[in-house]
Amino acid sequence: MTTVTPAACLDLRGTPCPMNYVRARLALEGLAAGDWLQVDLDAGEPEEMVSQSLGGEGHHVRRADPPPADPSSVRLLIRRGG
């Protein structure tokens, strides 16, 4: 797997659905096509909602190592689609 350097990072832990999706989408809109956004989220429904929604919009979503010292959350790397 290649190393990704995110153009922006967003910490959405504790942010309820659907606001976590809305904030991630707005952050992606500010990036150029092909740029990566790192998003930290709570595990479970927030991860599923953001992954499925942004993936369905044509962005590439992959799971990365979780944030340090917070095993209850997940880290997603999202590449903005064209």
36-45 pLDDT tens trace: 999 999 999 9
Are β-strands 60-64 and 73-79 bridged in parallel, bridged antiparallel, or unpaired?
A: antiparallel
> Left, alpha or beta for 67 (phi > 0: left; psi -120 to 50: alpha)?
beta
Q: pLDDT at position 1, please?
A: 55
Amino acid type, 2: T
Residues 76 and 47: beta-carbon distance below 8 Å: yes
Distance, in Å, from the CA atom of 77 to the CA atom of 37, rounded to the nearest integer, reads 6
Number of helices and strands in the chain (H, E): 2, 4
3-47 pLDDT tens trace: 899 999 999 999 999 999 999 999 999 999 999 999 999 999 999
pTM of structure: 0.92
CATH topology of domain 8-79: Translation Initiation Factor IF3 (3.30.110)
